């Protein structure tokens, strides 16, 4: 079977085959496109009610053999990874597949020298530097489980993730460059480790040279049970030969934390076989990757987009993938376009938030660069608005590049709904059609599938796909309750969706207590927990509200024990608390002090009303007379205006 669709007819044939005989479809693709040390006994075993899903059971493989080794020797000299530093004056690195193989093997042996074995969890808290890619792939090389934590998270968030997964080793850097700022990652990491008992070894990469010998020894004295080592010294001494460790297709590959609607982040567990198969299939089909293309996904590897579409998807396809350390606004608002010109990027994949921010800048920042190398554009993280789509199409794509609008989640592992570049129709603001293998549907409030179109409902998936998460680390019941209990026999995405008469999907946003800010899922309960730790806060309610750049921003309504003497100071303290406990990304844009929050008679905060107030909709609440305290609504509206 031809597995890369080149026409609308190809897509339809692939989709029909994937729905009519899904197990045969994925078995043929997996067998013909990858190296397996042992073939599977069974393609798929599943039970939606128990959230039990196993793909390619009994198979043995190593994902790095498929991402690196099998491309040698034919592609040994080809660039696998381009590293573009934060500072445009620092020389970029072009890392060939041969060099990537050597550096991943050395890093794998480095980890083995620290006592890391198959199944051990390794926490990686690094900026977007090559050592981050080496560390991720080295874990996979030896069968260890990587848990990457975004280098913008706080010490508390890092400690929570280390403790939840009982990580054995922490890899960090002295600091990280991000625009004109330097993040003191080593200081944050050692602060986090004061709360952690499972870490045996801390490994530090020198990036910013901002940790003195005195600082190093001072932190060692505070953490005497943990052995400290310099990456550079251990890396130099490590062997460049490391045979891959064979793992079962269903062995964990990584844990990646995503915000939950009940406070504690969820450690989503992804396994090796199905994840490898699906990320490769979607990368090749959605972006229409061709040999020789330079591909750039601007995400951070601390998020699922970076895992799937900076590393595993592109490398398994033998692509050249670009890693960017910086931000789109440094040293000026033309940095993205400068990088595209410099490296002759062909495929560019970014977030609507970045597009909206760059759209605000003077068009001269775009026009001074040659973007003719671009063939395909993409968006990820949240639905894109029409104005941003049209600007992206006109000024970046020159009305000549297909734009793929991709919908997927940390939980899904790979792109689920998207047009295929230049193959299936693009419709501004629509993710359009499900990918082959994805059986998407809309359910009504009663959990019934909606068959008539157009329609609006809750987006669900009714058949397993290979890259789906298998569990929440250490808490399978939470996995069942969160994704498979709302509608029996379906995976519930948590998103609302509209479908037009042709069956094209348009995501309308979350229907649960998650706010998508700049493409990142933030759990409102986790932010509320951080706010409520302030001694003068009785309770809080966090909702999202429309934001011209971020798409959504965070609005916090807080009720105080005592009327604050200085509201501005209180707001500043709350923002600092959220930043410290979660990270700057979760800081509320607006904080409103209220004497009370609207509640039902059973004591539940009516966030529906607060969402409308935050959005500036002050006259469409419906009947509020049944509230426990309806009089507080007018007071909140007055404070919001």
CA-to-CA distance for 93 and 138, rounded, in angstroms?
19
- The CATH number corresponding to 514-640 among 3.40.50.300, 3.30.300.30, 3.30.1950.10, 3.60.130.10 equals 3.30.300.30
Phi, psi values for residue 11, rounded to 5°: -55, -45
Q: How many CB atoms lie within 10 A of CB 373?
A: 15
Task: Quickly state the pLDDT bin for 191 (edges 50, 70, 90).
Answer: very high
Top pLDDT among 607 and 465 is at 465
Least confident of 87-96, 116-125, 399-408, 553-562: 553-562
- Dump pLDDT digits (tens) for 53-70: 999 999 999 999 999 999
CB 381 within 8 A of CB 258: no
Instruction: Evaluate the CA torsion angle 403, 84, 547, 632 in order and state its sign.
Output: positive
Contacts of 291 by beta carbon, 8 Å cutoff, 6+ apart = 318
Q: How far apart are CA 377 and CA 422, in angstroms?
A: 11
Neighbours of 535 (CB within 10 A): 8
CA 603, CA 420: separation in Å to the nearest integer?
Answer: 48
pLDDT at 88: 97
The CATH number of the structural domain formed by 34-405 is: 3.40.50.12780
> For residue 387, is pLDDT > 90?
no
Confidence bin at 479 (pLDDT 50/70/90): very high
Closest C-alpha among 429, 570, 605 to residue 505: 429
Q: What integer pLDDT is reported at residue 605 of this predicted model?
A: 78
Ranges 443-457, 514-528, 559-573: which has the least confidence: 514-528
What pLDDT sits at residue 12? 97
**What's the pLDDT band for 625 if we cut at 50, 70, 90?**
low
Is the pLDDT at 119 greater than 70? The verdict is: yes
pLDDT of residue 514: 67
- Check whether 273 has a pLDDT greater than 90: yes
Q: In this predicted model, what pLDDT tens digit does every residue of 25-44 receive, in sequence order?
A: 999 999 999 999 999 999 99
Give the three-state DSSP class for 230: strand
Residue 600 has pLDDT above 60, yes or no: yes
Residue 81 pLDDT exceeds 90? yes
Name, in order, each residue with C-beta under 8 angstroms of 233's C-beta and a sequence gap of 6 or more: none
Rounded to whole angstroms, the Cα distance separating 524 from 608 reads 13
The CA distance from 304 to 159, in Å, is: 20
- SS3 annotation, 386-438: HHHHHHHHHHHCCCCCCEEECECCCCCCCCCECCCCCCCCCCCCCCECECCCC
Lowest mean pLDDT among 299-313, 410-424, 513-527: 513-527
Q: What is the mean pLDDT of residues 446-464?
A: 94
**Quick one: tokens of 30?**
């997996």
Contact 431, 425 (CB under 8 A): no
Pairing state between β 121-125 and 181-183: unpaired
Inter-helix orientation angle 631-640/607-614, to 10°: 30
Please give the structure tokens belonging to residue 337: 């376009």
Nearest to 379 by CA among 398, 352, 357: 352
Calpha distance 464→469 (Å, rounded): 10
- Topology classification of domain 440-510: Luciferase; domain 3 (2.30.38)
pLDDT above 60: residue 262: no
What's the pLDDT score for residue 522? 78
Cβ pair 282, 415 in contact under 8 A: yes
> What's the mean pLDDT in 327-342?
96
CATH 3.40.50.12780 domain range(s) in the chain: 34-405
Question: Which pair of structure tokens corresponds to residue 141?
Answer: 């090389």
| Whole-number pLDDT of residue 305 | 95
Q: Between residues 352 and 128, which one has the greater pLDDT? A: 128
pLDDT band for position 5 (50/70/90)?
very high
Q: Is the pLDDT score of 261 beyond 70?
A: no
Judge whether residue 263 has pLDDT over 60: no
Q: What's the average model confidence in pLDDT over 620-626?
A: 67
Residue 623 has pLDDT above 70, yes or no: no
Q: What are the residue ranges of CATH 3.30.300.30 in the chain?
A: 514-640
User: With bands split at pLDDT 50, 70 and 90, how would you rate the model's confidence at 77?
Assistant: very high
The torsion region of residue 254 among left (phi > 0), alpha (psi -120 to 50) and beta comes to beta
Average pLDDT (561-590) is 90
pTM of the shown model: 0.87
User: Residue 445's pLDDT is what?
Assistant: 84
Q: How confident is the model at residue 512 (pLDDT cuts 50, 70, 90)?
A: low
Which H or E run contains 202? strand 201-205
Q: What is the mean pLDDT of residues 440-455?
A: 93
Residue 435, both tokens: 């990918």
Per-residue confidence (pLDDT) for residue 385, from 0 to 100: 82
549 has pLDDT over 90: no
The mean pLDDT of the chain is 93
What kind and span of H or E run contains 146?
strand 145-148
pLDDT above 90: residue 628: no
Which long-range contacts link 364-371 to residues 24+ away (Cβ below 8 Å)? Answer: 365/332, 365/333, 365/334, 365/337, 366/334, 366/337, 366/395, 366/396, 368/334, 368/337, 369/334, 369/337, 369/338, 369/340, 369/341, 370/341, 371/337, 371/340, 371/341, 371/396, 371/398
Q: In which residue ranges of the chain is CATH 2.30.38.10 found?
A: 440-510
Confidence band for 621, pLDDT divided at 50, 70 and 90: confident
Environment class of residue 580 by beta-carbon count within 10 Å: exposed (0-12), middle (13-18) or buried (19+)?
A: middle
pLDDT at 130: 98
Report the 10 Å Cβ neighbour count for 502.
12
> What is the mean predicted confidence (pLDDT) over 231-239?
97
SS3 59: coil
Give the angle 254-256-257 at the CA atoms, nearest 5°: 155
Q: Which residue has the higher pLDDT, 412 or 214?
A: 412
In eight-state DSSP terms, residue 271 is: E
């Amino acid at each position: 079977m031809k597995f890369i669709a080149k026409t609308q007819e190809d897509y339809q044939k692939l989709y029909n085959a994937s729905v009519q005989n899904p197990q045969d479809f994925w078995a043929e693709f997996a067998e013909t496109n990858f190296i397996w040390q042992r073939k599977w006994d069974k393609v798929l075993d599943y039970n939606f009610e128990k959230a039990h899903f196993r793909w390619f059971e009994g198979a043995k493989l190593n994902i790095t053999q498929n991402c690196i080794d099998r491309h040698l020797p034919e592609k040994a000299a080809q660039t696998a990874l381009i590293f573009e530093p934060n500072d445009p004056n620092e020389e970029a690195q072009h890392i060939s597949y041969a060099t990537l193989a050597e550096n991943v093997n050395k890093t794998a042996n480095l980890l083995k020298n620290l006592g890391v074995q198959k199944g051990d969890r390794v926490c990686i808290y690094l900026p977007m530097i090559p050592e981050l890619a080496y560390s991720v792939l080295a874990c996979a090389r030896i069968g260890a489980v990587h848990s990457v934590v975004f280098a913008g998270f706080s010490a508390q968030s890092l400690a929570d993730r280390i403790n939840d997964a009982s990580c054995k080793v922490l890899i960090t850097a002295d600091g990280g460059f991000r625009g004109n700022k330097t993040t003191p990652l080593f200081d944050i990491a050692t602060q986090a480790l004061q709360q952690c008992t499972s870490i045996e070894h801390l490994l530090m990469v020198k990036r910013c040279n901002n940790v003195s010998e005195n600082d190093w020894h001072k932190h060692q004295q505070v953490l005497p049970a943990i052995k400290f080592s310099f990456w550079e010294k251990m890396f130099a001494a490590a062997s460049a030969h490391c045979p891959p460790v064979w793992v079962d297709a269903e062995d964990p590959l990584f844990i990646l934390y995503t915000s939950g609607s009940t406070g504690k982040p969820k450690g989503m567990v992804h396994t090796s076989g199905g994840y490898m198969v699906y990320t490769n299939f979607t990368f090749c089909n959605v972006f229409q990757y061709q040999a020789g293309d330079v591909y750039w996904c601007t995400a951070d590897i601390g998020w699922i987009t970076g895992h799937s579409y900076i590393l595993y998807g592109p490398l398994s396809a033998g692509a050249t993938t670009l890693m960017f350390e910086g931000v789109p606004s440094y040293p000026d608002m033309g940095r993205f376009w400068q990088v595209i010109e410099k490296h002759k990027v062909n495929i560019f994949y970014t977030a609507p938030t970045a597009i909206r921010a760059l759209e605000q800048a003077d068009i001269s920042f775009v026009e001074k660069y040659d973007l003719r190398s671009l063939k395909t554009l993409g968006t990820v993280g949240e639905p894109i608005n029409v104005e941003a789509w049209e600007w992206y199409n006109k000024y970046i794509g020159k009305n000549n590049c297909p734009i793929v609008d991709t919908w997927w989640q940390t939980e899904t592992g790979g792109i689920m709904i998207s047009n295929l570049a230049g193959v299936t129709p693009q419709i501004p603001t629509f993710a359009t059609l499900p990918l082959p293998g994805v059986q998407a549907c809309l359910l009504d409030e009663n959990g019934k599938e909606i068959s008539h179109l157009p329609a609006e409902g809750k987006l669900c998936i009714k058949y397993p796909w290979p890259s789906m998460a298998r569990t929440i680390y250490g808490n399978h019941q939470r996995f069942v309750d969160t994704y498979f209990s709302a509608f029996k026999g379906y995976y519930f995405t948590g998103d609302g969706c509209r479908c037009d008469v042709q069956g094209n999907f348009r995501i309308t946003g979350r229907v649960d207590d998650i706010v998508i800010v700049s493409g990142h899922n933030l759990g409102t309960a986790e932010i509320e927990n951080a706010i409520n730790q302030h001694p003068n806060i009785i309770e809080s309610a966090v909702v999202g509200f429309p934001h011209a750049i971020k798409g959504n921003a965070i609005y916090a309504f807080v009720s105080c024990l005592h009327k604050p003497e200085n509201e501005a100071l209180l707001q500043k303290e709350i923002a600092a608390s959220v930043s410290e406990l979660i990270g700057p990304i979760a800081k509320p844009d607006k904080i409103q002090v209220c004497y009370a929050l609207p509640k039902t008679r059973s004591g539940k905060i009516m966030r529906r009303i607060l969402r409308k107030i935050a959005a500036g909709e002050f006259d469409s609440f419906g009947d509020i007379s049944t509230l426990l305290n309806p009089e507080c609504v007018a007071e909140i509206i007055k404070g919001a205006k």
